């Protein structure tokens, strides 16, 4: 049927209907008028209001809606509103009829037994370093001959003579020059462990850095390393009498590799199977304490969450509650808490810079931010700052293409709610203060916000707000957007007349 004989369909009303309901009615409209498949996209885009079309522009990046098929556009919106619905459900569960304590208990429970729940969550979006160990599986680890044994001891003694300034690249080259056959590399690692397990921390740290460099250069495989580590655990009962701090010392050999993702916490657990029943609790405690000392609490939380392990996979001293209490007594109770909002902001910006898919950011936030906090003003300010700051170039101007690409994140979590919009405006104000009010930047940001039809009610509330706790820098912000304020008021008057 020709386009001029087909009545237009109404726009999608976000406030009054769900996307699924609208889509069904739209499909029925197409069926009544026998609309051909090739015409559906054109009609759908023509029927979109500015809010829906702006959302589609962001979801289609780097393409435009016109470059997508009708089905692709519908699939993008279905995925988007499905995610938004999940966010709303989480927020409602922790605001309507759920106390703060109950939400914290849910978080603690997920820490104690996540094998079924977390099995459905995608793996971390952090890029993993490549290592030949990930593609190499070995089952044969031969004992070195006398000549090779002598070379291995020679290399271990060489490391013992190095100081903190020695370049690990040079040390690894010395190892290569010894021409040890790769099938014996596991024995070289074992010897480094044995010769340094009871030495001072400087040498243990140097051994860890050398092994890290070996991974970096793809000299050794993960199989080589884990076999050597497993041998150390098999000797643990014999060593611990002379080295009471054995598990603390052993942790020095793998915390760096855990951070660099050459090995995982599950790898350590599997290598330590022979000692878990007796010493798994101590092993995990020392590992986590040392990881925290080097990389901080937020990184330690992420290490544990990314492992998808239960506490009782390591701690064999009773129930999950007993295991949780053991870690709490060791000052590791923060593992049951959320990441700090500063860490959330930093990692979201990392993901934005890495240009990951929208769904990956959502999954990451779902894993690391509790349901209760995702509904909080603190979170809204954090996510707003993360997105806006990412889109600012040279602390002076707004990258509009980045803003168009990522503003759907703000739309999803702010969800058109006036209180959230107001807090997003406070976050932008605070960012301008910290940047010392770059010329015209606030004006550009506000125009971008208005053009993309987000925070409209929040802007009005922010202009009217007299909250003394939010006054810092506001006057200077207002002075920099006088032209925008005139345009905004004019648009409000036009809306009222319509």
Q: Where does a domain end: 301, 316, 335? A: 335
- Tell me, yes or no, whether 213 and 311 share the same domain: yes
- Tell me, yes or no, whether 306 and 380 share the same domain: no
26 domain residue, yes or no: yes
- Tell me, yes or no, whether 327 and 357 share the same domain: no
pLDDT of residue 266: 92
What's the average pLDDT block by block, 10 residues per block, for the chain (498 residues)?
61 84 87 83 82 79 81 87 60 47 41 34 33 47 94 92 81 94 95 94 93 95 94 94 95 95 93 94 97 93 84 89 93 86 90 88 84 88 95 89 89 90 94 91 88 83 91 90 85 68
Give the residue numbers spanning the domain of 444. 341-497
487 domain residue, yes or no: yes
Write the CATH number for 480: 1.25.40.180
115 domain residue, yes or no: no
Provide the number of structural domains found in the chain: 3
- Tell me, yes or no, whether 345 and 326 share the same domain: no
pLDDT of residue 129: 37
131 domain residue, yes or no: no
- Tell me, yes or no, whether 321 and 371 share the same domain: no
152 domain residue, yes or no: yes
pLDDT of residue 320: 87
- Tell me, yes or no, whether 77 and 187 share the same domain: no
Q: Where does a domain end: 84, 100, 134? A: 84
What tokens does 371 get? 């349901």
pLDDT of residue 122: 29
- Tell me, yes or no, whether 317 and 173 share the same domain: yes
- Tell me, yes or no, whether 179 and 327 share the same domain: yes
pLDDT of residue 103: 41
Q: Where does a domain end: 292, 308, 335? A: 335
- Tell me, yes or no, whether 328 and 399 share the same domain: no
- Tell me, yes or no, whether 36 and 70 share the same domain: yes
458 domain residue, yes or no: yes
105 domain residue, yes or no: no
pLDDT of residue 52: 84
pLDDT of residue 498: 60
pLDDT of residue 345: 93
DSSP bridge pairs for 393: 397
Cβ contacts of residue 178 below 8 Å, gap of 6+? 151, 154, 155
- Tell me, yes or no, whether 312 and 357 share the same domain: no
Query: Taking Cα atoms as reference points, which of 109, 179, 151, 130 lies closest to residue 324?
Result: 109
- Tell me, yes or no, whether 330 and 386 share the same domain: no
């Amino acid at each position: 049927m020709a386009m001029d004989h087909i009545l237009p369909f109404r726009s999608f009303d976000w406030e009054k209907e769900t996307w699924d309901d609208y889509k069904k009615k739209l499909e029925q409209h197409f069926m009544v008028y026998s609309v051909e498949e090739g015409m559906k996209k054109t009609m759908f885009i023509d029927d979109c209001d500015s809010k829906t079309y702006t959302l589609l522009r962001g979801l289609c990046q780097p393409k435009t809606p016109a470059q997508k098929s009708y089905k692709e556009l519908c699939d993008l919106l279905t995925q988007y509103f499905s995610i938004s619905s999940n966010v709303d459900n989480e927020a409602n569960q922790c605001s309507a009829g759920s106390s703060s304590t109950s939400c914290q208990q849910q978080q603690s429970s997920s820490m104690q037994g996540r094998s079924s729940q977390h099995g459905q969550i995608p793996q971390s979006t952090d890029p993993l370093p490549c290592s030949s160990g990930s593609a190499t599986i070995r089952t044969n680890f031969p004992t070195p001959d006398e000549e090779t044994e002598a070379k291995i001891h020679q290399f271990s003694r060489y490391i013992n003579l190095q100081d903190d300034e020695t370049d690990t690249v040079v040390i690894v080259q010395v190892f290569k020059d010894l021409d040890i056959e790769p099938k014996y590399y596991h024995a070289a690692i074992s010897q480094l462990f044995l010769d340094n397990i009871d030495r001072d921390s400087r040498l243990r740290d140097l051994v860890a850095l050398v092994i890290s460099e070996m991974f970096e250069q793809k000299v050794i495989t993960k199989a080589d390393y884990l076999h050597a580590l497993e041998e150390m655990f098999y000797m643990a009962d014999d060593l611990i009498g002379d080295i009471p701090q054995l598990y603390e010392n052993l942790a020095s050999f793998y915390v760096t590799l855990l951070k660099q993702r050459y090995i995982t916490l599950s790898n350590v657990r599997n290598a330590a199977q022979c000692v878990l029943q007796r010493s798994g609790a101590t092993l995990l405690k020392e590992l986590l304490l040392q990881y925290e000392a080097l990389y901080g609490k937020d990184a330690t939380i992420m290490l544990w969450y990314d492992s998808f392990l239960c506490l009782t996979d390591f701690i064999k001293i009773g129930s999950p509650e007993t295991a949780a209490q053991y870690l709490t007594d060791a000052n590791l109770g923060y593992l049951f808490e959320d990441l700090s909002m500063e860490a959330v902001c930093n990692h979201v910006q990392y993901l934005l810079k890495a240009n990951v898919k929208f769904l990956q950011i959502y999954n990451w936030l779902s894993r690391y931010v509790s349901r209760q906090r995702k509904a909080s003003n603190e979170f809204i300010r954090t996510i707003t700052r993360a997105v806006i700051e990412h889109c600012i170039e040279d602390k002076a101007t707004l990258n509009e293409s980045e803003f168009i690409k990522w503003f759907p994140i703000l739309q999803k979590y702010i969800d058109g709610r006036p209180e959230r919009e107001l807090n997003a405006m406070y976050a932008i104000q605070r960012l301008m203060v910290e940047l010392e009010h770059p010329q015209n930047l606030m004006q550009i940001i506000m125009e971008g916000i208005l053009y993309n039809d987000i925070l409209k009610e929040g802007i009005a509330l922010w202009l009217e707000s007299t909250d003394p706790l939010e006054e810092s820098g506001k006057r200077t912000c207002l002075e920099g957007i006088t032209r925008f304020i005139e345009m905004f008021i004019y648009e409000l008057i036009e809306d009222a007349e319509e």
